[in-house]
Amino acid sequence: MRLALSLSLAALLFVAPAAQAGDSVRVTVHGDVVFNQINPEPLSAVQGGETATMTFLLDTDFFENHPTLPTRGYAINQESFVLQFDSAGIGLQVPFPGGQAPYFVIRDNDPAVDGFLVTNNLANPFGVPLNSTGSFGQFIDNFYVTYGGSTLPSLDLLDALGSYDFTGLTVFNWNIDDGPFQAMVIDFASMTIELENDPWTDLECALAGVTGDPALAGAGTLVPGSLNFMTLSNAAPNAPLGVFATVASTPVPFKGGTLKAFPFLLPPLVITTSPLGLASLPFVLPPSAPSGLELVVQCIIQDPAAVNGFAMSNALQGTVP
């Protein structure tokens, strides 16, 4: 369920200060929806012709090599993964299936081609489960691209930094699968792999509700003028929630938990979660947003199963580079 970020919350991004560094690589894949036959929310809203952006973070130190094949899988930071369309956004399955891990797999001379996979397998394009269920289990985001064998010099992620499009491309696939069926088809356009300091920091302090701790995650560079998004998952379904934001965090007790998005700059943005307990908050950072701006956001969700009738997400801090 896509919930547009209101001007009142966007206005919070004009104020002020600090910084953060991290050893991470961001992968961003762009495409266009060819068709969509998905009925459940949030992806039911997506129409043919919409843009698709898949983005996630990797750590250069967290990888696994296939024991025999020339492939290497870098573990995807699960909270950073967002598949965003013009009308909806979604993350990975929460919780992620036990015994599995989402990988960004690099192929080098395998056997005479190079390429990239988003998969839960070091050798095969099995895709990764999204946080929505179809007729045959979780919807699967299945993306891979194949290039000529001289495209990559090694399996090192740092050697793969750069931009990729149709130059040298031999095979591509980007579908949202429901079991054996292609429920959505996306036409691949381009991909960038770039070093980046992650501008998002999890400040914790969630307060559990009916399904545990609601999880608020951020994606995007927070560069002035850029498209960014926050996603809430694991919240109570069809529940009213308030999105609170501040730029001068002074934590206060609230309903048995701690509210870090205080004092409020403006009244909260009030929206409703989807039947799956999801909410998507895309926004464009104003071009005039000052470097060092620290925005702290936290969601309060009406939830009868919570200790005092309200659950809280973790507090999320975004820092403008």
pLDDT tens digits, 218-269: 877 788 887 788 889 999 999 999 999 999 899 999 999 999 999 998 888 9
Last residue of a domain, one of 196, 216, 236: 196
Higher pLDDT, 225 or 272: 272
Residue 284 lies in a domain: yes
Confidence of residue 127 (pLDDT cuts 50, 70, 90): very high
Average pLDDT score, the chain: 89
* 132 and 275 within one domain: no
In a domain, 1, yes or no: no
Q: Is the pLDDT of residue 20 over 50?
A: no
**Tokens representing 146?**
């194949």
Same domain, 235 and 218: yes
Give pLDDT, residue 11.
37
Residues 38 and 148 in one domain: yes
pLDDT bucket at 23, cuts 50 / 70 / 90? low
Between the alpha carbon of residue 91 and those of residues 25, 83, 101, 215, the distances in Å are 18, 6, 14, 11
The CATH number linked to 313 is 2.20.130.20
From the list 66, 76, 183, 60, the residue with the least C-alpha distance to 128 is: 76
Strand bridging mode 113-119 / 137-148: antiparallel
- Residue 274 structural domain: 7-20+198-319
Nearest to 237 by CA among 276, 208, 271: 276
Residues 165 and 229 in one domain: no
Residue 1 reports pLDDT greater than 50 = no
Which residue type, as a one-letter code, is found at position 302?
Answer: Q
Residue 6: pLDDT above 70? Answer: no
Average pLDDT over residues 62-77: 96
Q: Does residue 37 have a pLDDT over 60?
A: yes
- CA distances to 110, 125, 281, 306 from 33, rounded to whole Å, are 29, 20, 20, 39
Same domain, 43 and 168: yes
In this structure, the answer to whether residues 52 and 173 fall within a common structural domain is yes
Residue 130 predicted with pLDDT over 90 = yes
Report the share of the chain in percent with pLDDT over 70. Answer: 93
H or E stretch at 8: helix 7-10
- Banded pLDDT at 284 (limits 50, 70, 90): confident
What is the model's pLDDT at position 200?
Answer: 87
The pLDDT score that the predictor gives to residue 194 is 87
Whether 172 and 41 share a structural domain: yes
Given a cut of 70, whether residue 10 has pLDDT beyond it is no
User: Which pLDDT score, from 0 to 100, does residue 19 have?
Assistant: 27
Q: What is the rounded average pLDDT of the residues 17-42? A: 79
pTM: 0.62
Task: Judge if 47 and 151 occupy the same domain.
Answer: yes
- 272 and 228 in one domain? yes
pLDDT for 287-314, tens place per residue?
888 989 999 999 999 999 999 999 999 9
Of 196, 223, 251, the position where a domain reaches its end is 196
Do the beta carbons of residue 63 and residue 72 sit within 8 Å? yes
